[in-house]
Structures are given as structure tokens and as C-alpha cells.
Copies of this chain bind each other. A is one copy, B any other.
Amino acid sequence: MSSIRVAACQLNTVVGDLLGNVERILDALTKATDAGADVAVFPELAVTGYPPEDLLLKPRFIADNLAALQQVAVATTECVAVVGFVDRALDLYNAAAVCHRGQVVGRYYKRILPNYGVFDEQRYFSPGDSATTLYRIAGVKVGVSICEDAWSPSGPISEQAAGGAEIMLNLNASPFFAGKLRVRERMLATRAADASVPLVYVNSVGGQDELVFDGASLVFDADGHVTAAATQFTESVMIVDVDVRPNFRKRLLDPRGRAGATALPVVPLSDEASSQRSVTLVAASQPPPLDPMAEIYNALVLGTADYVRKNGFTDVVLGLSGGVDSSFVATVAVDALGAEHVHGIAMPSRYSGPASITDAKDLADNLGLDLQVVPIEPAHAALHNMLEPPFARHVQGLTDENLQSRIRGLTLMALSNELGWLVLTTGNKSELAVGYSTLYGDTAGGFAVIKDVAKTTVYELCRWRNTQGSVPVIPETVITKAPSAELRPEQRDDQTLPPYDVLDAILEAYVEDDRTAGEIETMGFESALVRRIVQLVDRSEYKRRQSPIGVRVTPKAFGKDRRVPITNLYRG
């Protein structure tokens, strides 16, 4: 029995930051080498960050990425580095470079290019062909594949295992949604067991615009058991010794039996284990997976922190209404950035109750953030007077509600202009879906933290967060009072919308499951209600297009994974 020491380098790269990414890669490579790793595995497109999107259309960007890869390659010594980058040959390829002793000694091109959901890889890349190569590292035949390649039962993993691979390395930039870890782990376990080959799955970590990569890199043995797991949502360099045994179950991979399989060519890199192998590893830890609420909460925190910092901001500002959404977003922001970097503004109008300010103050005290109170009445009154002549009547109704919301948006943006603070918006997915928001009002801001979190989940997350730490941070009254936008006297959300559990169930069916109104009615919801909600969703598309991006935590967010026309007369 032989073994190979693998470093799973779960890095937080930044799109376009080629030099920074090279530094991150080389830092991790040093750690891997010092720990006696024979091979260090990095995420998909680690050199460019993922997804580079239309930067890939710039020939100069491709050239710069190749130069950055060279910087990695020349720094390699005995420890082999397997690094994601963009290669340019007849076309562009989503590639992995195998680097050893100062050179790129092999290249693998991703074969299965996802072009659904948030993915546009066929816009940029050609697929690799099936002819590939194995690499002998520390005497072990190693195969390489990239992300989606692993999701095909007859794809590169089974092919390379049938062709002689004794261990498979899989490089990933796999974005998070709630529950994906379990799906991914089950699939990978099956893939390893089907191919009777140990599998090292290395994922990126960190936020990139609306995507959050959740890390959680995994090592499987040839029976599909997890033997090591990296943390979720934090960077790590996990060093693991992977046992490699001859395994004749692999003959199952080839219908002609093992004898009929074609051995893949092998590039010999090293026959001996690393001279540093004497470094003793602590047994690889296997942190238990986070529970569902913790997982979403961590994704929101990481996505927010990375958006703010990677875009050069330090501080954020948000309106605190005393409601559950803004209270929750403030809590996420404090956990992401520290209380001293989060600024709350309460902007009561003539319709705000005194309890709202009290609740906002209690929250601010609990979180330790500064709260300023800016009553909007002066601007509200002035705008009423200013708009009376053109309307030939007093502003009222929806127009007046939107006016108040827009004065608040304008106030936050003025603070942002003056002080360089990024404005966080606080709308949730349920509101965004039905357009229960004011464009240029409460939707005004740079980052929409909970835009992919349904209202019912916001409540669950508040309750969960209140169980963390010694005291609850979100005042109980915030969670229990009836939701209201406080834009007219005695307003409550449930005067306009159905109860949120009903609303969210209809929305999930319509938005995430692509059902039509007719189909949702057959699920047992009242016909008129379903038609009204569906119409609200369709008619709000233009608002969503103008809303800021935010963290994706479901399989289908209102982001690049939902591409619907604004002009759309379908009423299914």
C-alpha cells in the first residue's frame, strides 16, 4: 500500500487580481511544501478568480493570466502544484496546470462546461477532449478534473480511473446555495465509490458579487467515505495523507471489463514521497457540517464582508426602521465588518410610531453600533408643497408612500457620498419578488444583503442568531410585532399581502420551481390570490433589474440565474 500527501488549498481569490492571486497561491504552496505535501491542489481558475466573466474577452487579460501562471510555475520545486487558469490554444480553455520544478509539465482542459443557472461557461470556453494524461507523483498515478467534470457519471473521473488513475484531484469554484453541500457530498461519494478511486475535492471560498463559494473541501476514500473535510466559509490549507490501494472493482467501469480498458499515458514527475514527509500530520479534522440556518448566516456574512472589502470599502450605512429586515441586516453587517464599521440611521416620518425608534435604539445598543436619528419631516413637507402645483392636488396614497421611502434613500445616499460608506439595502426576497418596495427608495444602495432570503427565513435566521452568543441581539419586540412599512397610518404588510408563509410557498413554486399560476392553483392555493401574486412578480421585473446585487443563498436567486424578459405577456 502506498500513499500520497495532498494539500487541499481552499483559497479566497479575487476576480481580476492576478498578482494578488499568485501571492495567495504561493503562500499556500509554501505551507503545503513545509508540511511535506507531494501535491498542492488549488481551486478552479485560481489565477483569475471565478467567474472572470467578460474579462475573458480581453486578449490582454488572457496573456496576463498566462504570465501569472508562469510566476506560480517557476516557484514550484518538489511539491507539484495543480492550479486553475485560463489556457489559450486554438480557443480558450478552463484549464488546470500541473506545475513541477519550475515548469508547467501538463495541462488539463475542463470537458463539461456548465451553461445553466449562474453559469455561462460555453460563452467563453471550448471543452477539452477526452484524450488526457495521468501524472505519477510520489509513485502514485494521479488524475485531474475540474468541477462540473465530476458531475457526470460517465465523465472524466470514471474514464481516468478506468485508465489507471489511483487518485483523482478535482478543482472547483462551486457556488453555495442552502443545502448544496449535502447534494455535492452525496454525488462525490458516489463518484469515488463507482470509480473505486480516492477523490480530493478542492473548492474556492469567498464572496464574488452575488456568489459565495463555501469551501468545505472534501477527501473521499475509494469506498466513498469522507476521510477529511475542510471548514465551510473560511480559507484553509488542509494536508491529508491519502492511501492508495490496488482496487479491482474498477473493472466495473468499463463494459468490456478491465482488460479492455485503455491505459492512459503517464507523465512521470516523482517516484518518491516528499523528503518533508517526516512532518507528522495531526489527524485531519472533520468539522461537522453547519446546521441549515448557520450555513445561510455564514454565507450572508462572508458574502457581505467580501463585497465590501474587495470593492475597497471599510464602512457601511443602513436605515434602521426597527423592523425585522433592517435589524437582521445590521446584525449580519456587524458580524461581517465589526460594529465600528456599521452605521445605523433611523429616519422616522410622520407615520412612524415611537416604538420603532426604541426598537432601533435597542438593537444598536445590543450590537454596539452608532445610531443617528434623522427625521424626514422637513423634506417630506417641502416636497408636498413643491409637488402640489404640478399635481393640482395634495400628494397622497402610493405616491406619498414612495415619496417617504425615496427621501430616506436619498438621505442614505447623501451620507454615502459624504463619508464614503457603502449603503446596504434591507429588502428580503419575498418583497423583491412582489415589488413590495420603492425603487430608488428602500432599494437604493450598493449591496442587498438578504435579497435572496425569504421573509419567513429572515424570521428563522433572527431566532437562530439570537441563540448564538450570551444574549439575544435582536430585540424580541422586533421579531414579534406585525410587519409594517410605516408609510401611512396603521399600515401593516398583511393588509396588502397574504401571510408570509402563504406568500413564500407561492413564490417558491413560481420563482424557484418555474411553475405557472395554473399549476400552483392545483397545489391548493386560492386562484385569485395566486394570479395576483404571479402578476405582481411579473410586473416587478423592471424593479428587480434596477436593484443592487446581493448574496445568493437559494438554487434560484433574482440574479444571473433568473433571466426573464421585462416585456413578457405570458400568463400561464
Contact = CB atoms under 8 A, between A and B. Distances in A.
Interface string A244-268: 0000000000000000000000000
A387 interface: yes
Interface in A312-370: 345
A542 B445 CA distance: 10
Interface stretch (A160-168, A194-202, A411-419): A411-419
Interface in A520-572: 542, 545-549, 562-572
B378 A386 contact: yes
A106 interface: no
Contact of A569 (B20, B389, B446): B20
Contacts of A372: 390
Interface in A14-60: 14-18, 20, 51-55, 57-60
A402 B386 contact: no
A460 interface: no
B378 A60 contact: no
B403 A387 contact: no
B413 A440 contact: yes
A346 to B, nearest CB: 11
A21 to B, nearest CB: 9
A402 to B, nearest CB: 6
Contact of A567 (B209, B399, B406, B571): B209
A527 to B, nearest CB: 16
Interface stretch (A1-9, A292-300, A511-519): A511-519
Contact of A58 (B115, B515, B563): B515
A570 B414 CA distance: 29
B60 A519 contact: yes
A61 B516 contact: yes
Contacts of A283: none
A116 interface: yes
B542 A54 contact: no
Interface string A122-133: 110000000000
Nearest to A415: B390
A16 B569 contact: yes
Contacts of A310: 567, 569
A311 interface: yes
A436 interface: no
A387 B413 contact: no
B548 A542 contact: yes
A440 B378 contact: no
Given A387-B414, A562-B54, A567 B514 contact: no
Task: Report copies per complex.
Answer: 2
Interface in A64-116: 64, 115-116
Given A64-B572, A122-B115, A565-B52, A57 B20 contact: no
A226 interface: no
Nearest to A374: B390
Contact of A410 (B391, B406, B542): B406
Contacts of A399: 414, 417-418
Interface string A372-395: 101110110111011101110001
Contact of A409 (B57, B59, B440, B548): B440
B569 A549 contact: no
B414 A410 contact: no
A187 interface: no
A439 interface: yes
B418 A391 contact: yes
Nearest to A116: B123
A148 interface: no
Contacts of A518: 60
B55 A570 contact: yes
Nearest to A55: B570
A292 B51 CA distance: 37
A293 B525 CA distance: 53
A15 B549 CA distance: 26
A407 interface: yes
A233 interface: no
B411 A387 contact: yes
Given A386-B378, A410-B410, A53 B563 contact: yes
Nearest to A391: B418
A378 B388 CA distance: 12
Contacts of A471: none
Given A15-B567, A398-B417, A545-B548, 6 more contacts: A55-B565, A120-B120, A390-B411, A406-B406, A440-B444, A545-B549
22 contacts: A54-B514, A54-B562, A54-B564, A55-B570, A58-B572, A60-B572, A115-B122, A115-B123, A122-B122, A209-B565, A306-B567, A311-B566, A374-B387, A378-B383, A379-B379, A383-B414, A390-B415, A395-B414, A395-B418, A403-B414, A440-B440, A546-B546
Q: Give the top 4 A-B pairs by smallest Cβ distance, nearest first.
A: A16-B570, A382-B382, A17-B569, A399-B417
Interface of A: 14-18, 20, 51-55, 57-61, 64, 115-116, 120, 122-123, 207-209, 306-307, 310-311, 345, 372, 374-376, 378-379, 381-383, 385-387, 389-391, 395, 398-399, 402-403, 406-407, 409-411, 413-415, 417-418, 439-440, 444, 446, 514-516, 518-519, 542, 545-549, 562-572
